[in-house]
Structure 1
């Protein structure tokens, strides 16, 4: 088990890991093509992807969680180790947040997402990269994604709503096992394009962009539509309570 974790944590130093970063980096740039003069926080193990987005004016900070600092080695800039439940940043400090390798089976995803939402600006955006529950982790063996918590789009919406976030845009990547899809960048692009056409929803990874939603976690009362029999019974009961109702002159 320990040997497998070492291989996964050193994945981004391998040629396949670099191709994976390039592939997902292209998808991230599709979400955020312009990050000029903006601040970006990489949570969990998102540090390797920060170098693929933004330009020289973009402020990038990698924040890996305690106990998993090896994922931060891909960032050649500012980096720190943080407590996922208590991020050491001021409220509404970042324009963008990338979350990858931050939600594992032993963690509480809602608590981590709420901590991220606290440091995200009102007009900011959060981008999550998580394995698909439809066999995503099995196709991502020997990568850090194999230890991440898998989701479906439905469960992602529910989890984000509980953290007062709203899912807005979606994407997917790596339709074949990572050992095949990440051999070359050109091969990975072709496989992803073919997968989205031939098998939509079958990607190993789900990318979702979310925005703060103040009222998403507040339950709303729902008034069920009454049938015709119920309406008639209620009307008859109300008429019976009226003095003189039903009497004829």
Structure 2
């Protein structure tokens, strides 16, 4: 289900990818305004957006799934990226404060396993920010961009999945109202598309941006003890009597 890392890198090097990075990055920054002193981990292909936090965060790391492949990041500094098994992240429990999940949730074969692993490596009160294709948006319907690959989600589906994996959704946003068309007029009018879509709360945004916090104390459903009824034994005579 994964898309190759070379295709991801090439997309973000094109004009449409630059537009996507601009608007998605703006949405990410609106939810995470300050990461000073925080340990930030990107999972999937989050490197186009991790640069927003690299200078202010205590540490930034980029984990890329084995099925996708890995590229060096940052390109001109010591590498902070690594190829990993997304279901067994090479970190101890509670190792990071923030996780940015981009091109990850929709690509994995088992979203619940991935999110539980994210839960494990997040510190108490840690925050997850996931960028997920909107199943009602145009970007999920066209495979000419990475957002058209994998499994898109509705808000209801994301909310249910997060709660099942011990997260509490705390913030929502959308981005990419502009159609995924790499033509001059659409790209030049991208700002107008974004502004109009956000003002009208239009349902056809390309991606959801959802922030969630790690739920440390999970409610354990009470189970009523079942009573087993044992029938009374009837008296019987032994064969020798």
How high is the TM-score relative to the length of structure 2? Answer: 0.79
Q: Is the Cα contact below 8 Å between 2:4 and 2:68 reproduced in 1?
A: no
Deviation at residue 13 of structure 1 after TM alignment = 1.8
Contact 2:64/2:83 (<8 A) preserved: yes
Which structure shows the higher helix fraction? Answer: 1
For structure 2, the residue ranges without an aligned partner over 5 or more in a row are 224-241
Q: Deviations over 1:131-162 (max 9, x none)?
A: 11114444553221111321111111110011
Deviations 1:41-76 (A, max 9, x none): 000111221012352454110000002125x45644
Partner residue in 2 for 1:174: 176
Distance 2:32 2:109 in 1: 28
2:51 match: 51
Q: Aligned to 1:69, what secondary structure does the other structure show? A: coil
Aligned residue number for residue 153 of structure 2 = 151
Conserved in 2, the CA contact under 8 Å of 1:35 and 1:54? no
Distance 1:23 1:182 in 2: 17
CA distance, structure 1, for counterparts of residue 184 and residue 122 of structure 2: 32
Kindly indicate whether residue 89 of structure 2 is the aligned counterpart of residue 87 of structure 1: yes
TM-score, normalised relative to structure 1: 0.76
Distance 1:194 1:68, change over 3 A: same
CA distance in 2, matches of 1:59, 1:5: 23
* Segment drifting more, 181-190 vs 121-130: 181-190
Whether the 8 Å CA contact 1:16–1:184 is kept in 2: the answer is no
How far apart are residue 25 of structure 1 and its match?
Answer: 1.3
CA distance in structure 2 between the partners assigned to 1:193 and 1:132 by the alignment:
18
Is the deviation greater in 188-197 or in 145-154? 188-197
Cα gap change, 1:12/1:104 in structure 2, threshold over 3 Å: closer, same or farther? same
- Residues 1:57 and 1:165: Cα distance change in structure 2 (over 3 Å): closer
Give the number of equivalent residue pairs. 218
Query: Which consecutive unaligned segments of at least 5 residues does structure 1 have?
Result: 222-249
Query: 3-state DSSP class of the match of 1:133?
Result: coil
* Residue 143 to residue 220, structure 1, CA distance change in 2 (3 Å): farther
User: Would you say 1:118 and 2:120 are equivalent positions?
Assistant: yes
C-alpha distance after superposition, 1:96-126 (max 9, x if no partner): 1000111246611110000011111112100
Q: In 1, distance between residues paired with 2:221 and 2:185?
A: 47
Q: Secondary structure at the match of 2:83?
A: strand
Q: 182-191 or 22-31, which moves further after superposition?
A: 182-191
Q: Distance in 1 between matches of 2:183 and 2:95?
A: 36
Distance 1:144 1:218 in 2: 38
Cα distance between partner residues in 1 of 2:21 and 2:85:
25
- Aligned partners of 2:183, 2:109: CA distance in 1, in Å? 29
